[in-house]
């Protein structure tokens, strides 16, 4: 029994040592291990303050299709997405009038392109004013939007910017201004702008919604850092510079900012390395190492 008691005591002591080691997990030989943090470099580049505006994507050339006379839809000859030539029939109709017999009448495409949308079904009654379909030419697109009047000075012909569409959230498209209205809508205090771009792979579709960012103020050759490096404390802002493996807490002054980056006008120089994670857990003088990034 004495031997068993000795073994049990040894196991208990081993467990206590393991617990103590775990409790000191951030230490080695009595010293605190450097904390792993993400790091970012201050860069000199342009930064813009932007305003986001929602617009609609359209084919630069498209046309609605109308019948040449009244009747009922007899047959659809093409479906949505099919290529079509000018004057090619998309569907046929037949006039239904008591005492008379009419031949099927074709409803034809007014331009070359693709059938964008068919608005009627077989058996529907149509008249000359019924838009039965749309034909689009998707090689060249435009984005139409109404911009608040206070930003009129920021938009001019040839101005380029990026936009995105909900259907392709991970892609950006660049477009250039092709027309600017100099008349302000008195109801909503906006002016009309159109952007144009090529669409060779037909990723953009007629009728999509677009979110376009318009730079309204730009600073050239500014010191720019990611927003993640800034510690916001009341009405002051700080960063943690990384020098020789240690943190130096530094108050900074900020300039323009957007959704990802911010300009630093005072307190940081180009190429300086800054901590970019766990900002509110860091301390002045703390030792750090760069956190490994996933391959």
41-86 pLDDT tens trace: 999 999 988 888 999 999 999 999 999 999 999 999 999 999 999 9
3-class SS string, 5-69? HHHHHHHHHHHHHHHHHHHCCCEECCEECCEEECEEECEEEEEEEEEEEEEEEEEEEEEEECCCC
Cβ distance 47 to 261 under 8 Å?
Answer: yes
* Residue range 197-235, pLDDT digits in tens: 999 999 999 999 999 988 888 999 999 999 999 999 888
Task: Tell me the sheet residues that pair with 48.
Answer: 218
If one counts every other C-beta atom within 10 angstroms of the C-beta of residue 64, the result is: 14
Helix, strand, coil percentages, rounded to 5, for the chain: 10, 55, 35
| Prediction pTM value | 0.67
**Contact (Cβ atoms closer than 8 angstroms) between residue 58 and residue 141:** yes
pLDDT digits (tens, 9 = 90+) for 250-285: 999 999 998 889 999 999 999 999 999 999 999 999
What digits encode the pLDDT tens for the residues 84-118?
A: 999 999 999 999 877 778 899 999 999 999 999 99
Which of the four pLDDT bands, split at 50, 70 and 90, describes residue 292?
confident
CA angle 69-70-72, nearest 5°?
A: 125
Stretch 279-292: mean pLDDT:
92
Report whether pLDDT(2) > 60: no
Length of the chain, in residues: 295
């Amino acid at each position: 029994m004495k031997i068993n008691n000795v073994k049990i005591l040894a196991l208990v002591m081993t467990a206590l040592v393991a617990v103590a080691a775990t409790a000191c997990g951030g230490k080695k030989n009595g010293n605190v291990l450097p904390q792993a943090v993400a790091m970012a470099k201050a860069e000199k580049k342009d930064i813009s303050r932007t305003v986001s505006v929602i617009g609609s994507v359209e084919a630069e050339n498209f046309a609605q299709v109308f019948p040449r006379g009244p009747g009922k839809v007899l047959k659809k000859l093409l479906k949505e997405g099919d290529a079509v030539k000018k004057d090619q029939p998309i569907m046929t109709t037949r006039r239904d009038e008591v005492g008379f017999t009419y031949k099927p009448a074709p409803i034809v495409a007014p331009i070359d392109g693709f059938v964008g949308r068919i608005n009627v079904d077989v058996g529907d009654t149509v008249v000359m004013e019924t838009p039965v379909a749309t034909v689009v030419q998707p090689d060249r697109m435009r984005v139409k939007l109404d911009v608040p009047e206070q930003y009129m000075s920021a938009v001019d012909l040839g101005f380029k910017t990026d936009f995105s569409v909900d259907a392709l959230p991970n892609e950006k498209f660049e477009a250039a201004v092709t027309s600017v209205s100099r008349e302000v809508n008195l109801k909503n205090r906006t002016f009309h702008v159109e952007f144009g771009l090529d669409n060779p792979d037909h990723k953009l579709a007629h009728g999509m919604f677009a979110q376009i960012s318009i730079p309204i103020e730009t600073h050239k050759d500014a010191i720019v850092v990611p927003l993640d490096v800034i510690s916001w404390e009341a009405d002051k802002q700080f960063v943690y510079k990384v020098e020789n493996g240690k943190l130096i807490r530094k108050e900074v002054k900020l300039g323009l900012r957007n959704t990802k980056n911010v300009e630093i006008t005072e307190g940081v120089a180009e190429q300086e390395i800054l901590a970019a994670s766990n900002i509110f857990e860091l301390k002045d003088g703390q030792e750090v190492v760069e956190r490994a990034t996933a391959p």
